[in-house]
Structure 1
Amino acid sequence: MGGWSAEREISLRSGKACADALERQGFRVSRIDVGRDIAVVLAATAPEVVLNVLHGRPGEDGTIQGILEILQIPYSHSGVLASSLAMQKDYAKAVLQAAGVPVPQGRVISRFEAAKSHVLARPYVIKPIAEGSSVGVFIITEQHAHPPQELTREDWAFGENVLCETYIPGLELTCAVMGDKALDVIEIEPTVRFYDYEAKYAPGGSKHLLPARLKPNVYQEVRRLALQAHQALGCRGVSRTDFRYDERAGAQGLFCLEVNTQPGMTETSLVPELAAYAGITFEELVRWMVEDASLNR
């Protein structure tokens, strides 16, 4: 848990919640705050299993997974390839599109080019290629005469290229997959206009409607596409797929935004909420992830 990504604090909260849940069930848990010496620490600690609750790099991009494969320590969630693909939003989109999962239209350009002029018809979204939790995301509307100049700052820490995508109006939806089964669908109502980092993790930042208020055919299509996306990327264990749904377009208005291979496990996180709705307690969910751990994922 922990690490050095922009999502460090959320990872620490996820790690504490999971470690506490395992200790309540009698597991012996070593809480490791990941640093650059993580390979040395893991070799010295020699855990039987690693429950990976890192968010962002290096725990979500295949790096930690590769170290664990070399050290032959079984671990949770997705393996090297699926983690790397899902983290790189442009590569993930290509895989999902080839598998028949609808994704918004978009293009990858340099952050400096994105700051010069509007590269898509407004409204559109600018997002880092390899960050989660809506870190570094901008929604560009008709009210924005110019693109965000924050993209050119020297302290910009989210990569040299960005992904620009058509903005999909409508509902924010998410669906988790656990093993080979899609759970239910949550509709997210942010208390602010955009479901950003604070809306995701601050108490009261958003309202979760479970089950989502969708027509039955659309509800089942979200579940089907979440499982299809999970399988297309080769994910393992638990993943969570985020969607936007433009109700005006019917079933054709559903678009996959991204697949999260290391979804949050905090007290306000979506996966524990979806599991609870399916009758799975937080303790049972965390135990399942530990028991599902393996190599060659």
Structure 2
Amino acid sequence: MSAHVAVIMGGWSAEREVSLVSGAAASKALASRGYRVTEIDADRDLSRRLVELKPDVVFNALHGRWGEDGCIQGILEVLEIPYTHSGVMASAVAMNKPMAKRVVAQAGVPVAEDKVVASADLFIADPLPRPYVVKPLDEGSSVGVVILKPGDNSFGPDVDGPWRQNDQVMVERYIAGRELTCAVIGDRATRGVTELRPKRGFYDYEAKYSDGVTEHVIPAPVPDTIYERVRALALAAHNALGCRGVSRSDFRYDDTEGGTGELILLEVNTQPGMTPLSLVPEMAAHEGMSFEDLVVWMVEDASCRR
């Protein structure tokens, strides 16, 4: 009898729509390989539905708060249902940007200087020299990220930004240069490192999930030493946080004229997107692993932890 996989998707975070696409793609891939699949659009009655369904394993396709930050993982631990991606602690720490940076920095992974400040204080004085980046403490997919540049006065308490939804925000030194990303699958970094080239602005939520807005260049055209360091740092960050299954780490590489030449970790994504535009399936394909193979590997990897 084929294994019964419950694919949890949707939910109520800011990344609901992307999660629905990830979940649908994973469901289709698993069904094509003979798994019995039940799709669940997660709501606050999720525990009861899982008890009734009794799946063998859960494919967690949720993104953002409540699905990626240890909350759902805790429910699945209590119910003793194996699940894909990282566990409670790694999920919670990785989702909290300041905490994650402290942990990976202890493992020798370079991160940008930052401060956690009260949102109201942003409008009294700049907490860092401009340019700097303002981020919610615990959102994914660049939700709510704003870059404040010198002379930019187009923000305030009435302008949309992370300061309107959060009492506290993280401000971080802006790193010029290229955006690079690398996945970890199991205990190894993918051979493919990707450069992301947004056609406008920066690699924000729209750039991640809108077709044609960002060019993906794989393998990234950077010096071999930088390429291999990205791979090594992605694996180091994955291990430092205690991630498992699949993760993706995003970096900035400052190769601008007169720049610092530094390579800086931006964040670790413990549940990367699985949409047609997503990076991890693309990096897996670069080394001959189909989308179906990747999804099946994730489910089998989770099943081994029963």
TM range (shorter): over 0.9
Equivalent in 239, 263, 268 of residue 247 of structure 2 = 239
After the TM superposition, which of the residue ranges 21-30 and 146-155 deviates more from structure 2? 146-155
Identity of aligned residues (%): 55
Change (3 A) 1:296 1:111: farther
Equivalent in 271, 275, 280 of residue 289 of structure 2 = 280
Which residue number corresponds to residue 136 of structure 2?
A: 128
Change (3 A) 1:171 1:153: closer
Equivalent in 70, 84, 92 of residue 92 of structure 2 = 84
**Where do 4+ consecutive residues of structure 1 move more than 4 Å?**
150-155, 248-252, 294-297
Distance 2:106 2:62 in 1: 29
Which residue number corresponds to residue 208 of structure 2?
A: 200
**Cα deviation, residue 59, structure 1:** 1.2
2:172 is the counterpart of 1:165 = yes
Alignment root-mean-square deviation, CA: 2.0
Which residue number corresponds to residue 215 of structure 1?
A: 223
**Cα deviation, residue 290, structure 1:** 0.3
Which residue number corresponds to residue 11 of structure 1?
A: 19
Normalising by structure 1, report the TM-score.
Answer: 0.95
Change (3 A) 1:47 1:133: same
Distance 2:278 2:11 in 1: 19
- Alignment-mate amino acid for residue 270 of structure 1: L
Q: Is the 8 A contact 2:136 2:162 kept in 1?
A: no
2:187 is the counterpart of 1:180 = yes
- State the Cα deviation string for residues 98-127 of structure 1 (Å, max 9, x = none): 111000001001111123321111110000
Normalising by structure 2, report the TM-score.
Answer: 0.92
Structure 2 spans left out of the alignment, 5+ residues: 1-8
Report the 3-state secondary structure (helix = DSSP H, G, I; strand = E; otherwise coil) of the residue aligned with 1:120: coil
Distance 1:123 1:154 in 2: 17
**Cα deviation, residue 20, structure 1:** 0.6
Structure 1 spans left out of the alignment, 5+ residues: none
- Alignment-mate amino acid for residue 54 of structure 2: A
Change (3 A) 1:36 1:194: same
Distance 1:123 1:296 in 2: 45
Change (3 A) 1:179 1:150: farther
Which residue number corresponds to residue 41 of structure 1?
A: 49
